[in-house]
Structure 1
């Protein structure tokens, strides 16, 4: 757990560095027009997710056949090289190519989930997945703040720093990270039937309860895409927050997330069970998105962050419920399938949220409701909560 925690932490630090600046870099290439920029950001997100939808199950199947470690190492090295490529990009099309490469190489998160399933007993997995969520939180405490400060100096500086972190992660993994899947527990062959996205999702159908949980993964990921798609430009438009302010806000998100994931998830799951933790998490996600949608000031928006942090109970509970129902030689494919579903939602979500946001601030339409994308996410989480309740009922 310590090894994989550090691996994920360094990776999320790298991604966190570029979050406050990537939309503004796109905006700069788009001539400073926010509406045009958000549509490009939506297109970037859509293509990134489409590429992940195709490649995630391949990476998961490769990790089942050859082990988790080599797939993680390739992912870290590829991301390091790609961040250099994006730092040097001087047009939107070249930046677009960089996002495609990121989608191909970003496998470490799903493989980390499979890694946990390899080394942690089913009864303790919710707590361990919570610790993995805490790594995300810690990464968001430091990464966006550093990215915002570096971006204030030069919009490309965070990309260079992200590259250094990703390549450092490769070296860390090469010299320190042990293999979690011994040869005797690996899949006997690389199976193309399960390595394609359709085959990997169909694999889930063999487990009826897992299939319901997969729908929850799809919906929650769909709702979550509002953040990478519109948050930075929303914050600038609604509250006049720059890269530094966005970095500080994301750091607060990271602190709250880390406190919930590392300090509370294991205790809450132990006290009320995985099913109830899942339902409580969905209720908090719904409440948080409603606060974000209607917050009249930045202070009100900040008040929603601690509430939204408890949405983080949902994913560890889903992962614990699902991995307990799948054999050790299919954990990588399960995580690849889950990541494919998340990516599938990302094929549609960025353009949906971008279009909703652009329309909601378009003077020609006579409306000015920048919180509209968050209201849409609230509705999606409400459906996810209903599916969570239906798919986890006893009997």
Structure 2
């Protein structure tokens, strides 16, 4: 197994995914407003488009996960990346918002990148090294999202559709790169049955004692994470009046610090604490960060909380490593697909629900209320992890 080229490709894939997303984030409102002729209409279409992606991902991710077990990781990953490139091209050429909805839904149906990447890492890394590998993926994620918005803003100033062309070129170039350098990590098992019933795949995972707790903990953590991603800028602007430049600087600095921290600290911390304790510590740090953000009354408190939140990223990598250890080698794709499906449900429902709660809370004394709710979900995730038996290797090390 050529592990170094494979892991390098996965890191490039995650980086390009987030770079492409970051490229289009600053431009999407302008494009939809231009297509609909109305800012309010553009905002409504943005919500429908994002929800269609999450819904189709929920329906398709478990199927793609099983396909990765049946046919191998490589073809499913390259198919997912190809669909992403087509989606970006549609954004660059679509004459109406309805076209964007259709193609973004197609991209959601093909959105198996996270599922297959997580399964691939489990295939090519030994269990003690997985947390570090997942930490490196988290670093690539953060770096891509750091560079994307700045580049997207520059390209969008030239033409509102140019960032979508650039994102499509990156995604399709990554497909070409993968065709030449990506080896198959695990031959497919044609005895693995495909199922078109994604809810059954999710329920099958949830019924298992250890996997069910880990999947629920991951889902609760996703609710907390998405709430913070959707509302953080709105809260700090409302509370402190930060400018767009100030926001961009703080977000870029935070993302860069997170990337460095995940790349350099995840491996040593998880080796010392083990997957379980590191995951619980990260979940607790995330809960404290969100609760502190809800109550912060001065900008310096926000800066300190951003630093505390770095520990949460280690928890996420440790939890992914733990989930891979608890999963058999012949069903990594199936389980990762089910977990991705749970996350897709959160992606579908949480943005609308959290935004509505935030709008309601603005009329009261605590506009940070959604962050307290998110902190409760993060704490529930940490408690679920704490109540789950440690991986066998960790228990043996503690004897």
Q: When the two structures are superposed, what TM-score results if normalisation uses the length of structure 2?
A: 0.86
Distance 1:59 1:231, change over 3 A: same
Indicate conservation of the 8 Å contact 2:21/2:148, yes or no: yes
Offset of 1:280 from its aligned partner?
1.1
Offset of 1:233 from its aligned partner?
5.2
What SS does the aligned partner of 2:387 have?
helix
2:330 & 2:243 partners in 1: Cα distance? 47
Indicate conservation of the 8 Å contact 1:134/1:259, yes or no: yes
Distance 1:20 1:226, change over 3 A: farther
Matches of residues 38-57 of structure 1 in structure 2 within 5 Å?
41-57=46-62
Structure 2 residue runs without a partner (length 5+)? 1-6
Q: Find the counterpart in structure 2 of residue 292 from structure 1.
A: 293
373-382 or 18-27, larger mean C-alpha shift: 18-27
Match for 2:387 among 382, 386, 390?
390
Pairing 1:381–2:386 present: no
- CA RMSD, Structure 1 to Structure 2 (Å): 2.7
1:291 & 1:30 partners in 2: Cα distance? 40
Pairing 1:133–2:130 present: no
Distance 1:386 1:3, change over 3 A: same
Q: Find the counterpart in structure 1 of residue 325 from structure 2.
A: 324
Pairing 1:114–2:119 present: yes
Indicate conservation of the 8 Å contact 2:72/2:184, yes or no: yes
Q: Find the counterpart in structure 1 of residue 3 from structure 2.
A: none
What SS does the aligned partner of 1:225 have?
helix
- What does the per-residue CA deviation read over 1:149-168, in whole Å, with 9 as the maximum and x for residues that have no partner? 33455443322221111111
2:96 & 2:234 partners in 1: Cα distance? 20
Q: Find the counterpart in structure 1 of residue 91 from structure 2.
A: 86
- What does the per-residue CA deviation read over 1:334-378, in whole Å, with 9 as the maximum and x for residues that have no partner? 1101101111222321221121123234xxxx4475433323211
Structure 1 residue runs without a partner (length 5+)? none
Match for 2:81 among 76, 80, 105?
76
Q: Find the counterpart in structure 1 of residue 204 from structure 2.
A: 203
Q: When the two structures are superposed, what TM-score results if normalisation uses the length of structure 1?
A: 0.87
Offset of 1:309 from its aligned partner?
2.1
- What does the per-residue CA deviation read over 1:89-108, in whole Å, with 9 as the maximum and x for residues that have no partner? 45443333343122122211
Match for 1:5 among 4, 11, 22?
11
Q: Find the counterpart in structure 2 of residue 338 from structure 1.
A: 339
Q: Find the counterpart in structure 2 of residue 271 from structure 1.
A: 272
Offset of 1:19 from its aligned partner?
2.6
Indicate conservation of the 8 Å contact 1:147/1:247, yes or no: no
- What does the per-residue CA deviation read over 1:27-79, in whole Å, with 9 as the maximum and x for residues that have no partner? 6658345xx77665444433321111111111111111111111111111111
Distance 1:228 1:284, change over 3 A: closer
367-376 or 115-124, larger mean C-alpha shift: 367-376
Q: Find the counterpart in structure 1 of residue 369 from structure 2.
A: 372
Indicate conservation of the 8 Å contact 1:288/1:307, yes or no: yes
Offset of 1:305 from its aligned partner?
2.0
